[in-house]
Amino acid sequence: MVQSKDNNSLPNNASRNGNYNIPFVAVTMLFFMWGFLTALNDILIPHLKAVFDLTYTKAMLIQFTFFGAYFLISLPSGKIIAVLGYQRGIVIGLLTAGLGAVLFYPAASATSYPLFLTALFVLASGITLLQVAANPYVAVLGNPARASSRLNLTQAFNSLGTTIAPYFGGLFILSATMIGSDAMHQLTPGQLQTYRLQEAASVQIPYLGLAAALLVLAGIIALLKLPVIAEVEDHKLKPGKLQDALRHSNLSLGVIGIFAYVGAEVSIGSLLISFFGQADIAGLKQAVAAGFVSYYWGGAMIGRFVGSALLQKVNPGRLLGVFALVAFALVIATVMTKGQVAMWAILSVGLFNSIMFPTIFTLGISGLGKLTSQGSSLLIMAIIGGAIIPLIQGILADTYGIQNAFLLPASCYLYIVYYGFKGSTAA
């Protein structure tokens, strides 16, 4: 194996036994930040839906654009990491995400929905690079037998970001002056433009602040002396490597698992504010409903801290299967009930979403060795489920109602049940 000339370069056995507290803390900050940015989409959807008077299908283009970037940018991200290494890849990802956040300012000034989608794509491209770099980096920072536990712990801080974001968005983005669709149609063209400019502008300061935070974090990561994990960095991408990685069935089935999980989690979160606004569910105003969305993401945070401990003693595949089965049952309960029962059933799904992504991810890359970078890229590409499934659910919500549309994520959890109990151990 080739050793880097950098003093921080570590051989394979060091990646098993070294002290990685500082690198682990640094990478954990990344998980928090991209969780925060991702959950803000749940605030943007109802906000921009009202500002531009969109259907659910058109509003879901926010998630389609954001998570579509994962599909398009994942393979280039893997190549960047293979050439430049994980640390430089992380810095580039943070700078790109910062640029995307800055672009929200001109998008709001122009009151242009396509420009908002463009800014989201740039922002998500940076986050994609962070995901491709950080997930496998955490997985190899220590004992491989505890990779799922370690990644669940970092994902818990990701969930801390997703928990705080809805409160932040409700306070700074969702305006008390929002008017209904009928009232918008009564405005003159000049009044409508003024209204849209005023409401769209509410995202400018929050996203400029996030851009500044991303730039500061990029500077911190650039200055740190992070170790080079030789077993996953001392190689270049070669033709056929992706095909070689996909020959591992735990990876190929895991790709579908990530697609299903992210699609289910995102599609549920995207419609919670609108769902809670239904008269037969809770009849909540948007700003109030945003606070309850934090319970959904907060459940994932609690579950990941608990899951990190459980996964040190319980087989990851079995625990994944059990959690997915409970999530399926809760979504079905949401579809079949009304009022507070339906509301709290769907919020409880977040608790059982908790371990799914990090556990599927670590089961998927298990045993890949020098194909880890390629396997990571494929798994991150599968996050496109967060683009496709919410868009389909938006169509279902427009056609059959929000509540019935939740049957789509329910079907996703059934596949994860299979992957946990069977697919992750397939030869």
Position 358 scores a pLDDT of 85
Question: Does pLDDT of 347 surpass 50?
Answer: yes
247 secondary structure, DSSP code:
T
Range of the domain at 171: 9-425
Contact 118, 103 (CB under 8 A): yes
Phi-psi region of 369 (alpha: psi -120 to 50; beta: other; left: phi over 0): left
How many CB atoms neighbour CB 222 within 10 A?
A: 14
Question: Does pLDDT of 4 surpass 80?
Answer: no
Average pLDDT over residues 293-312: 86
Position 8 scores a pLDDT of 45
CATH of residue 369: 1.20.1250.20
| Residue 135 Cα distances to 41, 197, 258, angstroms | 22, 39, 13
Residue type, 176: A
| Residue 173 Cα distances to 47, 48, 101, 214, 270, angstroms | 8, 10, 14, 19, 16
Question: Does pLDDT of 274 surpass 90?
Answer: yes
How many CB atoms neighbour CB 252 within 10 A?
A: 17
Confidence of residue 190 (pLDDT cuts 50, 70, 90): low
Segment among 255-259, 282-286, 344-348, 373-377 with least mean pLDDT = 373-377
In a domain, 105, yes or no: yes
Question: Does pLDDT of 427 surpass 70?
Answer: no
In a domain, 1, yes or no: no
Is the pTM of the predicted complex or chain greater than 0.85? no
Phi-psi region of 3 (alpha: psi -120 to 50; beta: other; left: phi over 0): beta
| Residue 10 Cα distances to 31, 234, 296, 368, angstroms | 23, 11, 40, 19
| Higher per-residue confidence, 143 vs 208 | 208
| Residue 47 Cα distances to 54, 112, 192, 270, 326, angstroms | 10, 14, 15, 11, 31
Average pLDDT over residues 141-148: 71
Position 19 scores a pLDDT of 63
Contact 97, 120 (CB under 8 A): no
Q: pLDDT exceeding 70 applies to what percent of the chain?
A: 86
In a domain, 416, yes or no: yes
Confidence of residue 86 (pLDDT cuts 50, 70, 90): confident
Q: How far apart are CA 137 and CA 180, in angstroms?
A: 47
In a domain, 298, yes or no: yes
Average pLDDT over residues 187-203: 74
In a domain, 90, yes or no: yes
**Dihedral sign, Cα of residue 257, residue 127, residue 64, residue 155:** positive
In a domain, 49, yes or no: yes
| Residue 299 Cα distances to 20, 286, 359, 420, angstroms | 28, 20, 17, 21
Position 2 scores a pLDDT of 31
Q: How far apart are CA 35 and CA 86, in angstroms?
A: 19
Question: Does pLDDT of 172 surpass 90?
Answer: no
* Number of structural domains found in the chain: 1
Query: What would the pLDDT profile of 413-425 be if each residue is shown by its tens digit?
Result: 999 999 999 988 8
In a domain, 76, yes or no: yes
Q: What is the CA radius of gyration of the chain?
A: 21
In a domain, 245, yes or no: yes
The enclosing H or E element of 109 equals helix 104-109
